[in-house]
Each structure stands twice: as C-alpha cells, then as structure tokens.
Amino acid sequence: MLFKIKEILKNIFKKTTPITLTQTTQILKQLEQNLNIELIGSENIAFNSLGTLTSLHLADCGVKSKDLELIGKLTGLESLNLDYNEIVEIEGLDNLTSLTDLTLSDNKITEMKGLNRLTSLRYLDLSDNKITEMKGLNRLTNLTDLELRDNKITEMKGLNRLTNLTDLDLSDNKIEKIKGLWGLWNLKSLSLGGNRIYRIQGFWFLKNLRYVYLRGNHIENKICSTDDFKIFY
C-alpha cells in the first residue's frame, strides 16, 4: 500500500508526463490547422523507434509566439527548428526538457528568456534577432555551441556559468570590448567579426582557445597566429 502511494505521488510531481502517439497526432493536426501546412507524413518530423516525436522542423512556417505553447506539449522533442518565423517572445517551451538542439534564428526576439528550464540544450541558435543583452542562460550548463550573431548586443556578459561551451559566435553585433569570458575553460572558437572592437584582450586565460575571428573590426594591437592559436583579421 505504501509503495502504491509513493508511485502515485511520484507521478503527480513528475516534471513532464510522456504523451501518447494519439495525443502527438492531435497536437500536430492542430499545428497544421494553425499554420496552414502539412506535417503528418512529411519530412519535417521524425519519430524514434518507440513512436515518440523527437524532431520537428518548422522553419519559415509563420510560427508566432502564441504557437509555442502547443509545440511545448511535444515533450519528447530533442531537436526543434523554428528559424525564419515571426516569434517575438520565447514562451511555452518549459516542458521540453529533452531538447538538445534549438534554432530560433531570423525571428523578432528581443530578450533571451523562457529558456532556463531547457537544461539539456547543447546547441542554441538565436542569430538574426533583435537581442540587446545576454541573460537568462545561467542554467544551460550543457551548452557547447551558442550562436548569437547579427543581433544588437553591446556587452559580453552573462556567460560565466556556461563552462562546457566550445563555440561562441557573437559576430555582427555592437560589442566594443572583449570581456566576460572567465569560466569558459573549454572554449575553442570565438567569433567576434563585424563588431566595434579596437583592442585584443580578455581571453589570454582560455588555454583551450584555438580560433579567434575578428574580421571587420579596427584592431590597434594586432598579434600574430601561432601553430596552436589562429587569429583572423
């Protein structure tokens, strides 16, 4: 009896509840209706061997912020592509705790919020949006690749806890100073082309850093590449 009570409580307080294939189909049908596209039977979705939807590709489908709540019910998703849409705010994705790849480039996003519970993320692309500040990523400690090029970011900060990050792209922003990289011990590639940087600094302590891209800046104190470290102007 005690065992049954424990099991009931465990199910009640579970973070996410797996959804059935029937429920998945219903959600996909609703998405088809909302977006006026064909999903079921198309190459835009992928199931694993157990019938759980693991991949959803909705690039350039007219997805709006309000549609994210419906997508957020597909709790088995591991990969989600929402590039080239009309998303202004990231909301409703909190239950996608299995998600490892999320792309949201070319939308209208202004703030990096609504991501903190997606702690399995390894790849995140928020390029070509209207983001001005890097924040809301503190809990995404499994991230290895972060793409933030072509935004309106002015300052490098809010990254210190992303200790597994290997690739960081902040090209084509409005950054003037290289800083805020302390703690990124595994960083191998740093892209800062097309910013307003004039001085090389702020990354000498990153022993694993191998590539730095600075094309399109006006660097005053240029340094040379070595066998183990390449820098591009």
Reported as a pLDDT band with limits 50, 70 and 90, residue 7 is very low
The CB-side HSE value for 51 (13 A sphere, CA atoms) comes to 8
Mean pLDDT of 146-165: 97
- CA 191/CA 231 separation, integer angstroms: 10
- Tell me what pLDDT residue 216 has: 96
Mean pLDDT of 220-227: 94
On the question of pLDDT at 4 being above 60, the answer is no
167-169 β-sheet, strand order: 45-47, 53-57, 79-81, 101-103, 123-125, 145-147, 167-169, 189-191, 211-213, 230-232
- Tell me what pLDDT residue 91 has: 95
Span of 7-11, 113-117, 158-162 with lowest mean pLDDT: 7-11
Mean pLDDT of 145-157: 97
Three-state secondary structure call for residue 4 = helix
On the question of pLDDT at 16 being above 80, the answer is no
Mean pLDDT of 118-128: 98
Sign of the dihedral through C-alpha 127, 132, 136, 142: positive
pTM of the model: 0.90
- 102 near 118, Cβ under 8 Å? yes
- CA 46/CA 110 separation, integer angstroms: 30
What is the Cα gyration radius of the chain? 20
